[in-house]
Structure 1
């Protein structure tokens, strides 16, 4: 039961960098229309959001049923999602 809950946490934690972070990176309170101009590394950020995050989530959830290291796989996957969560805004705000 614990691994099922941990798997759901990984899925929800993967949804944040995939859907929310790109929107937060584009938002601009000081801009006239509320959207930041063209991003320098916007394409790289979208690749991370739509390729790297799903690969990490699916790899984590797929590796969790391993009998001896399921919790370790989940911890590593959550750590990688945390790293991606920090990399994506950095790519969006890089000048």
Structure 2
């Protein structure tokens, strides 16, 4: 009898052939890249404004913020880094739609973090 189990001493599985991306794959990634850019712009531009907005306040802006520096750091450093990192990762050979999904998720997390930081007044 021949042992055909995949063990350290047995036969190794066949390598998967690498598949190059088609034009449709590149077009899909380009659309996803545009969507990531738009989401990054919305999170970076609208996020801090929504974070400090206050309907009940006299001038429409929340009072002195406890974590204003953290809010601005997330807006000026975190959002651009996630956006650019996602765009770079989209077009790497092993990247793709999974990287785009993770990047969009991180932009959502940063948006929520900005909203939470904007709610805390001194």
Short-chain TM bin: over 0.9
Query: Does structure 1 residue 36 correspond to structure 2 residue 98?
Result: no
User: What is the Cα deviation at residue 94 of structure 1?
Assistant: 2.4
User: What is the Cα deviation at residue 16 of structure 1?
Assistant: 1.7
**Bigger RCO of structures 1 and 2 (CA < 8 A, at least 6 apart):** 1
Runs of 5+ in structure 1 lacking a partner? none
Instruction: Give 1 or 2 for the bigger CA radius of gyration.
Output: 2
User: What is the Cα deviation at residue 26 of structure 1?
Assistant: 1.6
Query: Does structure 1 residue 27 correspond to structure 2 residue 53?
Result: yes
User: What is the Cα deviation at residue 68 of structure 1?
Assistant: 3.0
CA RMSD of aligned residues (A): 1.1
Judging by fraction of residues, say which structure has more helix: 1
Runs of 5+ in structure 2 lacking a partner? 1-26
Q: Size of the alignment, in residue pairs?
A: 95
Report Cα offsets for 1:53-88 as digits up to 9, x if no partner.
000000000111112321111111111111111111
Query: Does structure 1 residue 62 correspond to structure 2 residue 88?
Result: yes
In the superposition, the TM-score normalised over structure 2's length comes to 0.73
Q: 2:35 aligns to what?
A: 9
SS at match of 2:114: helix
